[in-house]
Amino acid sequence: MAQMTEQEILAGIGKIVNEITGVPASEVTPEKNFVDDLDIDSLSMVEIAVAAQDEFGVEIPDDQLKHLKTVKDVINFIQS
């Protein structure tokens, strides 16, 4: 399977964040910090991680999740 582009992953994350938290997908840009900029709490982050696993087939364990502060961090994790 071809590697997804950063834009494709970003669009997927935007859709997930919107479904779980109601934050518009357009606000989900790489430099945004989930907690400080998007006002997303730790439990919603777990829901996002679970949905991302279904969407991208990449498991994000809790001990990794706490290091993923920005949208870009998640993109990098999925691409790695």
For the annotated catalytic residues, the residue numbers are 41
Judged by CB under 8 A, which of 46, 55, 58, 72 binds other proteins?
46
Interaction with other proteins in 53-72: which residues (CB under 8 A)?
Answer: 62, 65-66
Tokens 């840009």 belong to which residue? 29
Q: What is the dihedral of CA 58, 1, 55, 4, to 10 degrees?
A: 90
Residue 63 C-alpha from the chain's centroid? 15
Is 31 within 8 Å of 71 (Cβ atoms)? Answer: yes
Q: Between residues 11 and 46, which has the closer beta carbon with respect to other proteins?
A: 46
Judged by CB under 8 A, which of 2, 43, 57, 67 binds other proteins?
43
* Contact set with other proteins (CB under 8 A): 41-43, 45-47, 49-50, 62, 65-66
